[in-house]
A and B are shown apart, each in its own frame.
Chain A
Amino acid sequence: NAGVMQNPRHLVRRRGQEARLRCSPMKGHSHVYWYRQLPEEGLKFMVYLQKENIIDESGMPKERFSAEFPKEGPSILRIQQVVRGDSAAYFCASSPAGINSPLHFGNGTRLTVT
């Protein structure tokens, strides 16, 4: 049973470039959650998606960040025009229908903006 799969594990981008982070949920899971862990900070909720729908994006920065979870394929977290402050570890979790299961996180993508 594969867990939540994230790729790439490490991503380096120059300021102004775009970053795309991918998350494949566990088999049978239709709910995806993205969290960000800034250096020396706790994990912070960003967004909750179901297939083709954004359910809660209250933790997403207002600009440059977007997320999707298409009918087919992985969930994508997209960061446009990256800045150094976007350097962080981005973690994805998934759950089956019904959202009371404890979250299990993927291995994360560590984004470094140079």
Chain B
Amino acid sequence: QKEVEQNSGPLSVPEGAIASLNCTYSDRGSQSFFWYRQYSGKSPELIMFIYSNGDKEDGRFTAQLNKASQYVSLLIRDSQPSDSATYLCAVNPSPSSNYKLTFGKGTLLTVNP
């Protein structure tokens, strides 16, 4: 069974620090990887996606992918209280489509002022 594992947290960091969120996946053939942010009671919001090994940066966010280790991470620099949310890692095993994602249960991040 294909699985995506995340530490449920809570992960607590002080404002201004770097928050590091980690995700491992079981399907070695997975092709694309997504990070979603979900505030309590709200919908998941796409914040990053990455397809190739290495780093991808977008503003304060950096996604890191290591397919050999089946590991994907999200770094949030200069963390703000508004970043406090649950972060969902999602993995797509298919090379031809992005719709059938396998989600982890999420990591709750708390940024303390």
Interface residues of A (CB under 8 A from B): 31, 33, 40-45, 48, 56, 58-59, 91, 93, 95, 99-108, 110
Chain B stretch 76-103: residues in CB contact (< 8 A) with chain A: 88, 90, 96-103
Whole-angstrom distance between the alpha carbons of A101 and B99 in the complex?
8
Interface residues of B (CB under 8 A from A): 4, 34, 41-46, 49, 88, 90, 96-106
Chain B contacts of A103 at CB under 8 A?
Answer: 34, 46, 98-99, 101
Q: Is the CB of A99 within 8 A of B105?
A: no
Q: Is the CB of B43 within 8 A of A101?
A: no
The chain A residue with its CB closest to the CB of B104 is A42
Chain B contacts of A56 at CB under 8 A?
Answer: 99-100
New contact pairs (7) apart from A42-B106, A43-B101, A48-B99, CB-CB < 8 Å: A42-B88, A43-B90, A45-B99, A45-B102, A48-B100, A99-B96, A100-B98
Minimum distance in angstroms from A101 CB to a CB of chain B:
7
Minimum distance in angstroms from A23 CB to a CB of chain B:
12
Q: Is the CB of A43 within 8 A of B88?
A: yes
Minimum distance in angstroms from B49 CB to a CB of chain A:
5
Chain A contacts of B88 at CB under 8 A?
Answer: 42-43
Chain A contacts of B104 at CB under 8 A?
Answer: 42
Chain A contacts of B41 at CB under 8 A?
Answer: 110
